[in-house]
Amino acid sequence: MTREYEAYLRDKVDVARRSKRTGKSLSHAEVEAHFATRRARIKGQT
């Protein structure tokens, strides 16, 4: 793993932790519901 990639991952994790702490994250169920709606909308367009 390159240093750049390690830094990228570390930053990504830091952002996620900050979002979780401040209540700006979504639960797994919320994400699943959102994408189920998107999939249904897209399926209806074809």
| pLDDT tens-digit readout, 2-29 | 999 999 999 999 999 999 999 999 999 9
State residue 20's pLDDT score: 92
CA distance 46 to 14: 39
State residue 1's pLDDT score: 84
State residue 2's pLDDT score: 97
Max Cα separation, the chain? 44
Mean pLDDT confidence for 34-42: 96
Q: Which of 35, 12, 40 is nearest to 4 (CA)?
A: 12
Q: Which of 5, 9, 7, 25 is nearest to 17 (CA)?
A: 25
Which domain, by its residues, includes 14? 3-45
Q: Give the number of domains in the chain.
A: 1
State residue 46's pLDDT score: 61
State residue 9's pLDDT score: 98
